[in-house]
Amino acid sequence: GAVEMVKVLSKACEIIIADFVTHDKSTKNPLLLDLVAKLNSILSFICKIQLFPTESNNSNYGTREKQDLCEWRKFPVDSSWQDGSQRELSVRVYNLCIGNCISSYSGWSPNVFNRQVMHATMRTTKGPGYCGINVTGKLVNGLLDPCVESNLCQQWALLHKLLPTLPEIDVDAGLNIIKSKVWYNAALEKKQTTFADISIAGLGEDHGINLLVHFSNLCLMAAELEKDDLREVLITNACSVLFPMTQFCTNKLIWHSEIGRGMIPNEERNELEFITEESTPEDNAGIAPSPAKQSLPPLGKRPRQTSSPYKSQRPQLSNLHQNNTSTSLPKPSRVPMKPKLIAVPASMLFKEWTKDDSSFVEECNDKKSTDKTVLAMKNVDLEMKKLRECFTVHGLQKASIRVSFALLAVVEQKACHNPFLCLHQAAVFAGHGSKGGNNDIAFKAKIPQNQDECSPFDALLILGRAECLASIAFTDEAMYLCSYAVKTCHLHRDNKYEKYPWNGKWRVIGIQTYMVFEAINTSIENFLEEDVRKGALEAWSDEVLKEVKRCKADAVSMMKLHRRGRRRSDLAENTMDGGEEKTSILSEQVVLPDIDEHEESPHFLENEGDMYEQEDSLE
C-alpha cells in the first residue's frame, strides 16, 4: 500500500512537471507554488521530517537565518546553509540511493548509512543478494536510473541560472567516468541479467528517489519566479536533494558534509560483501575481497583442520606459550561469585499449588472459566503472530511487551493449567521490550487495599507484574510490589495472627517471592550504576530481608524433598531389577544437618524433621 502510494505520487509529479513546462511562464506562479507546498507536506509525512513550509504568505521567514548563496563560488561548498530538517532530507536521499542499489538494505532508515545501520535494518531476501555500490574510495557511489541521471543534468543547468556565481559542473562527464569503471559495468551487467526480473528496491526506494527528484525540480522551477526569503528556502530544499544524489552517482565531492563521505571505515569496507545471507563475493560487484581471503588456497587443496591440535603438537604449544609470557594477555581480576540462585521448577510449584485444592478442579470443569482461558490463549497466539511479522528492532520491542501482557492475562484466569510457566515466559518477553519510557503502563493494576483481602492468587499476580517491571528497568515499582507480597506472606507465616492461615499456596508464594526478589536485585545490578545501585540494594527493609530468608529456606526444603523422592524412586526401580550392585545403594543414607538452635525455625505446612533453613546453595 505505502509503496504503491509513493509510486502514484511520483508518476503524478512527472505528469504535472511535463504539463508546466509546456505552459506559459506567467501562468505558473500560483499553481506551481501551491503544488510545491502540498508536496512539501507530503514529503514531511512520508520521510517523518518537518520541512520548512513554502507558502508565499508565511510570516516565519523572518525567523530563519539568512544565507548568502552567492558565496558558493567553488566546489565543495559549505553545508552551514542547511537547517536540521534539510539535513534529515539529505540523509533520506542518500539512504534511498543506497537502498536502490542493495537488495537487503532498507533505504527508509532515518540514520545515515553505515554497516551497523545496514545490519539493523536488513530485510530478508530470497536467492543471491545484489550490491551495486562502490566503497573503495573516500565517497560511496553507485548506480542510479538513467532517467534520474538525465533529470539531474537538467536541474544543474537550472540551478546555474538561479546562482550565476556557482561554478559549472559537468555532470555528464562525471557520469561517463563512473560508467567506464570495472565495478560499474559488472554491477550493471548483473542487474540486467540475474536481477532483470527481480526488484532490488523491495520497499519502493526507486519510487522514492523519483519523487524527491521531482520535488527538487519543482522547487527550482518555483524559485525561478520567487524572490528573497521564499526563493532561498526553495533553492536550499532543492540542493538538499540535488547535492547528495549527484555526489552519489558522480563520485565528485559537492559539499562539505559527512553524508556519503567517510561513513564506512576502511577496516569495515570488505565486510560489506556479507550483507546478504546467500550472497557470494561475485554477487557483490564493486566490493574488493579482503587480502586475507585472496591468499587462501582453493577449498579442495586446504589441509583438513581439527578441533584440537594433535597430541604430538601439544607440548610444543605449551612451550611456545611459556616462552611468550610477555605478550600474553593480562589475567582478568577475580570477581567474587554470587550465591547460586535456588530456582524451583514451575512444575513443582504448580504441583504444590494445586495439592488438595478442589477449587482448581472445579474451575477446570467449568465451561465458562475454560472458555475465558481459551480466549486468553488465542490472544497470546495472535500477539505471537504479530511478533513474528516484525522486521525492525523497535517493532519487536513493542510486540514483546504486548506478548508479556497477554501472558499475564492468561494467568488471571483461574483455569490456567500452569500459571507459573506463564509468569516466567511473561518476564522473559518483557525483558525483550524497550527499557524505561511508558512501558510500565501495561503492567499497572490495582492491588488489594488491605492485606487482609489479598489472596494467594492475588499475590501471585502481583509478583508476576513485579518481575515484568524489573525486566524493563522499573526497579522501584518492582521493589514496592515485591515488598507488598513479602509482608503479606509474613503475616500468614507468623503464628501470632490466627486470621491469616498458612497453607501450601502461601508456601508457594513465599518461594516465588524469593525468586522474584533475586530477579529484581539482578536487574538493579544490570541497569543501575555505582552509588545508585548500592542505594537501591540497601532500600530493602529488614522485615523484608528476614522473610525472604525464610522463603529461601522453603525453596531449599522443597528441592531437598524433591531430590530425596527422586532418589528413592530410582532405588526402588533398581531393586526391582535385582542387580546386586544397584541394590547395594540402599544402604546409603541421606544425612541432613540439624537446624541451628540460634536461628528461628521457619513455619512449614508439614512438621518434618528434614525441613531446615540453610544459607548455602544446594549440593
Range in 12-26, 139-153, 366-380, 587-601 the model is least confident about: 587-601
Nearest of 359, 363, 380 to residue 371 by alpha carbon: 363
* β-bridge partners, 131: 102
Tell me what the mean pLDDT of segment 525-533 comes to.
77
What lies within 8 Å, CB to CB, of 578 at 6+ separation is none
pLDDT given for residue 615 in this prediction: 36
% of the chain exceeding 70 in pLDDT: 71
Report H helices in 77-145. 84-99, 115-120
Give first-to-last CA distance, the chain, whole Å: 61
Burial class (CB in 10 A: 0-12, 13-18, 19+), 90: buried
pLDDT given for residue 256 in this prediction: 85
Tell me what the mean pLDDT of segment 500-526 comes to.
90
- The CA distance from 128 to 537, in Å, is 53
Highest mean pLDDT (candidates 144-148, 227-231, 273-277, 330-334): 144-148
Tell me what the mean pLDDT of segment 465-471 comes to.
93
pLDDT given for residue 51 in this prediction: 79
Which residue type does 577 have?
Answer: D
Tell me what the mean pLDDT of segment 319-341 comes to.
46
Tell me what the mean pLDDT of segment 10-21 comes to.
81
Range in 88-97, 360-369, 448-457, 610-619 the model is least confident about: 610-619
- The CA distance from 486 to 514, in Å, is 9
pLDDT given for residue 400 in this prediction: 94
Tell me what the mean pLDDT of segment 260-286 comes to.
43
Per-domain boundaries in the chain: 2-56+72-274, 346-587
Contact assessment for residue 144 and residue 97, using Cβ atoms and an 8 Å cutoff: yes
Which residue type does 198 have?
Answer: I
Contact assessment for residue 260 and residue 139, using Cβ atoms and an 8 Å cutoff: yes
Residue 490 has, within 13 A of its CA and on its CB side, a CA count of 16
588 vs 542, higher pLDDT: 542
Contact assessment for residue 264 and residue 115, using Cβ atoms and an 8 Å cutoff: yes
% of the chain exceeding 90 in pLDDT: 21
Query: CA torsion angle for 303, 306, 310, 311 (degrees, to 10)?
Result: -170
Highest mean pLDDT (candidates 73-77, 180-184, 304-308, 562-566): 180-184
| Residue range 30-50, pLDDT digits in tens | 678 888 888 888 888 888 887
**378 pLDDT band (50/70/90 cuts)?**
very high
Tell me what the mean pLDDT of segment 301-326 comes to.
42
Proportion of the chain in helix, strand, coil states, percent, rounded to 5: 60, 0, 40
494 vs 294, higher pLDDT: 494
Q: Is the pLDDT of residue 63 over 60?
A: no
Numbers of helices and strands, H then E, in the chain: 23, 2
Cα of 525 vs its chain's centroid, Å: 22
pTM as predicted: 0.45
pLDDT given for residue 290 in this prediction: 34
Tell me what the mean pLDDT of segment 91-107 comes to.
85
Burial class (CB in 10 A: 0-12, 13-18, 19+), 294: exposed
Q: Is the pLDDT of residue 240 over 80?
A: yes
Q: Is the pLDDT of residue 533 over 50?
A: yes
| DSSP element (H, E) containing 133 | strand 133-134
Phi/psi zone of residue 356: left (φ > 0), alpha (ψ -120 to 50 degrees), beta?
A: left
What is the chain's alpha carbon radius of gyration, rounded to the nearest angstrom? 35
- The CA distance from 143 to 138, in Å, is 17
pLDDT given for residue 405 in this prediction: 93
pLDDT given for residue 579 in this prediction: 47
| Residue range 416-425, pLDDT digits in tens | 888 999 999 9
Q: Is the pLDDT of residue 574 over 80?
A: no
180 vs 304, higher pLDDT: 180
Contact assessment for residue 48 and residue 95, using Cβ atoms and an 8 Å cutoff: no
Question: Could you tell me the three cell numbers for 250?
Answer: 558522480
Q: Is the pLDDT of residue 340 over 80?
A: no
Question: Could you tell me the three cell numbers for 7?
Answer: 509510486
403 vs 296, higher pLDDT: 403
* β-bridge partners, 261: 139
**How far from 229 is each of 56, 65, 158, CA to CA, in Å?**
10, 10, 19
Tell me what the mean pLDDT of segment 175-192 comes to.
88
**578 pLDDT band (50/70/90 cuts)?**
low
Tell me what the mean pLDDT of segment 196-220 comes to.
86
332 vs 338, higher pLDDT: 338
Contact assessment for residue 88 and residue 110, using Cβ atoms and an 8 Å cutoff: yes
Burial class (CB in 10 A: 0-12, 13-18, 19+), 167: exposed
- Kindly report the number of other CB atoms within 10 A of residue 412's CB atom: 17
Residue 402 has, within 13 A of its CA and on its CB side, a CA count of 17
pLDDT given for residue 342 in this prediction: 82
Average pLDDT, the chain: 75
**How far from 54 is each of 156, 373, 424, CA to CA, in Å?**
21, 56, 55
What lies within 8 Å, CB to CB, of 271 at 6+ separation is 115
Q: Is the pLDDT of residue 591 over 70?
A: no
**16 pLDDT band (50/70/90 cuts)?**
confident
- The CA distance from 297 to 570, in Å, is 56
pLDDT given for residue 467 in this prediction: 93
pLDDT given for residue 384 in this prediction: 93
**316 pLDDT band (50/70/90 cuts)?**
very low
Q: Is the pLDDT of residue 74 over 80?
A: yes
**DSSP assignment of 308-333, as one string?**
S--TTTHHHHHHHHHHTGGGSPPPPP
